[in-house]
Amino acid sequence: MSGKPMKLILTQEVTGLGEPGDVVEVAGGYGRNYLVPRGLAMTWTRGAEKQIDLIKRARSAREIRGLDDAKAAAGQLATIRVRLETRAGGGGRLFGSVSTADIAAAVRAAGGPALDKRKIEVANPIKTVGTHRVSVRLHPEVSASLDVEVVGA
């Protein structure tokens, strides 16, 4: 069993770890079994080190355009009402829980912006009817809060 750290280059934003293009050192199992298979990171090599510059340049070009878009999306999220219908049993308990993909679809259906489900953060799993607050990371500098009304169908 190898608990030896490994050096990776992030290809996606990973909460608590870094941004695309960052070189990070993580536990071997975390990198090998989670980050690399999901396409969130690639193994660091000297050749891959050269790709970091390209990744960072592309990120900065997206961020300049993305900051204004993120602020506009945050304003749009503040004005919409998101209502999600799902099957519920007695006492308001849901059959299962509401996923981030469900929330993204409900926001879209309510006339809001298209959200990446990976950017939606739910503090506690939504397993009951009622109004629940979720946060959305629209940009490294812009987050928005959103109330999702869950009703039983």
Query: In the listed set 66, 81, 103, which residue is the last one of a domain according to the structure?
Result: 66
Total domains present in the chain: 2
Measured CA to CA, the distance from residue 31 to residue 43 in angstroms comes to 9
Measured CA to CA, the distance from residue 34 to residue 95 in angstroms comes to 28
pTM of this prediction exceeds 0.75: no
Is residue 91 located within the same domain as residue 141? yes
Is residue 47 located within the same domain as residue 81? no
CATH code, 90: 3.10.430.100
Is residue 59 located within the same domain as residue 79? no
Distances (CA, A) of 75 to 40, 71, 144, 148: 29, 6, 9, 16
Which amino acid makes up residue 86? T
Measured CA to CA, the distance from residue 47 to residue 51 in angstroms comes to 7
CB 54 within 8 A of CB 22: no
Residue 3 is predicted with a pLDDT of 67
CB 11 within 8 A of CB 42: yes
pLDDT tens, per residue, the chain with 153 residues: 456 889 998 888 888 888 888 889 999 899 999 999 988 898 888 878 777 777 777 766 555 567 777 888 888 888 888 898 888 888 888 888 888 889 989 988 888 888 888 888 888 888 899 999 998 888 778 888 889 999 987
Residue 100 domain boundaries: 71-152
Is residue 62 located within the same domain as residue 78? no
Is residue 77 located within the same domain as residue 126? yes
What value, to the nearest 5°, has the Cα angle with vertex 136 and ends 92 and 11?
125
Measured CA to CA, the distance from residue 22 to residue 10 in angstroms comes to 6
Measured CA to CA, the distance from residue 10 to residue 24 in angstroms comes to 7
CB 26 within 8 A of CB 61: no
